């Protein structure tokens, strides 16, 4: 008979896992405050998942259910070996979450990290279910297959995090139009503001707007500021990050100092009335003229 405690633990672990998995697909779909809150919830949920994974694995190992028929394995040694393996997986999984939380991470590396974050705890639960519930799986899949998923997925998460940190610290992760955080505001002091929602909007700007004499500043969705200049020789774009973060109160002051936000005086007044009511740059992007 399967212990009631084992059923309860696996049920809770499955619910927490599904909730955490769903959250990873909704990262970066809100405003900065909502995204930050979503990241906190995701990190806490996966903490609960891993706590329940450990409890489920130990409960399955302690259950009085005999090992699967015909399977002779060193159960005690496997249980002790699972401790450092779980610790390694937990550390690298949170490194993987850090990669997912970074809006600048894109491409195949992000997709593989996402898959690893979801598959590694599932591999632990699958093995524990095979041991505790007698889940119908070949022994090679339930042992070596799950082990391969855990080791490969955890190692990949750790490697990508290490590579990202190395690039950041070495200063090689230079800002480009594609890795800026949108929406953002292109502002020339007292002259104009443009809302940019993607790298395509930035590349489509008239050349004269980005001339060195104009010195426009791009403020991204997180408040980081960049100077943008066209490079005449290559027709490229030079992007230089400025130190620090521009406080949102200062962003509003800069916008209100612009001489004309709209050609229609009535619309200009309406926009100036709405600017102080906004709480972040994403909200401002819907108020300012495009």
Q: What is the pLDDT along the chain (290 residues), one digit of tens a residue?
A: 457 877 888 889 889 999 999 999 888 777 777 788 888 999 999 999 988 888 887 777 666 555 555 556 555 666 666 778 888 888 898 888 888 888 777 778 888 899 999 999 998 888 888 877 777 777 778 778 888 898 999 999 988 888 887 776 655 557 788 778 888 999 988 888 889 988 888 888 887 777 666 678 899 988 999 988 776 655 567 888 888 888 999 999 999 999 888 888 899 899 999 999 998 898 898 888 76
Q: Say whether both 164 and 282 belong to one domain.
A: no
Task: Please tell me what DSSP assigns to residue 66.
Answer: P
Q: pTM (2 decimals)?
A: 0.57
Which range marks the domain in which residue 191 is found? 177-287
Which of 128, 152, 170 is the endpoint of a domain? 170
Element (H, E) at 82: helix 75-101
241 lies in the same domain as 104: no
Are residues 122 and 197 located together in one domain of the fold? no
Q: Which of 170, 199, 218 is the last residue of a domain?
A: 170
Q: Examine the domain organization and report whether 181 and 276 are in the same domain.
A: yes
* C-alpha span between 193 and 226 (Å, rounded): 14
Most distant CA pair in the chain, distance: 84
| Residues in Cβ contact with 104 at an 8 Å cutoff, skipping those fewer than 6 apart | 173, 179, 181
Same domain for 47 and 142, yes or no, is yes
pLDDT at 255 (0 to 100): 92
Distance CA 283, CA 275 (A): 9
Count of domains observed in the chain: 2
b/e burial code for range 115-130 (CB count within 10 A of at least 16 → b): ebbbebbbbbbbbbbb
**Residue 193 shares a structural domain with residue 243:** yes
| Backbone torsions φ then ψ of 242, nearest 5 degrees | -95, 150
Distance CA 26, CA 101 (A): 11
Pair 160, 253 in one domain = no
Specify the residue for token string 């394995």: 73
Same-domain pairing of 202 and 106: no
SS3 (DSSP) at 147? helix
- Rounded to the nearest 10 degrees, how much is the dihedral formed by the CA atoms of 257, 262, 263, 266? -100
Do 140 and 196 fall into the same domain?
no
Q: Are residues 88 and 214 in the same domain?
A: no
Beta strand 184-188 with 217-219: parallel, antiparallel or unpaired? Answer: antiparallel
Closest CA to 25 of 92, 118, 93, 87: 118
CA distances in angstroms from 59 to 47, 146, 237, listed in the order given: 18, 18, 58
Indicate the DSSP class of residue 191: T
Q: DSSP strand E in 124-223: where?
A: 184-188, 192-196, 217-219
pLDDT at 256: 92
24 & 164 share domain: yes
* Cis before 183? omega within 30: yes
- Which of 155, 170, 185 lies at the terminal end of a domain, its last residue? 170
Q: Indicate whether 246 and 162 sit together in one domain.
A: no
Q: How remote is the C-alpha of 54 from its chain's centroid? A: 25
pLDDT at residue number 35 = 80
């Amino acid at each position: 008979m399967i212990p009631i405690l084992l059923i309860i633990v696996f049920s809770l672990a499955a619910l927490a896992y599904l909730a955490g998995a769903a959250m990873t697909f909704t990262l970066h779909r809100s405003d900065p405050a909502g995204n930050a809150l979503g990241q906190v919830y995701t990190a806490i949920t996966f903490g609960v998942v891993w706590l329940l994974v450990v409890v489920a694995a130990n409960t399955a190992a302690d259950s009085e259910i005999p090992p699967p028929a015909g399977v002779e394995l060193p159960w005690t040694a496997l249980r002790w070996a699972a401790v450092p393996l779980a610790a390694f997986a937990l550390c690298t999984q949170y490194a993987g979450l850090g990669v997912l939380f970074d809006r600048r991470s894109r491409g195949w590396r992000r997709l593989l990290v996402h898959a690893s974050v979801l598959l590694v705890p599932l591999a632990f639960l699958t093995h524990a279910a095979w041991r505790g519930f007698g889940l119908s799986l070949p022994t090679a899949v339930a042992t070596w297959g799950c082990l391969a998923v855990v080791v490969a997925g955890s190692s990949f998460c750790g490697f990508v995090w290490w590579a990202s940190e190395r690039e950041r610290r070495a200063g090689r992760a230079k800002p480009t139009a594609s890795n800026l955080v949108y929406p953002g505001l292109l502002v020339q002091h007292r002259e104009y503001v443009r809302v940019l929602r993607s790298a395509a909007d930035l590349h489509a700007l008239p050349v004269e707007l980005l001339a060195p004499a104009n010195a426009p500043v791009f403020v991204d969705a997180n408040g980081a500021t960049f100077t943008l200049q066209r490079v005449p020789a290559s027709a490229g774009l030079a992007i230089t990050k400025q130190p620090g973060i521009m406080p949102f109160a200062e962003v509003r002051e800069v916008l209100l100092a612009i001489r004309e936000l709209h050609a229609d005086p009535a619309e200009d007044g309406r926009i100036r009335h709405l600017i102080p009511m906004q709480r972040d740059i994403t909200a401002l992007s819907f108020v300012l003229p495009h």
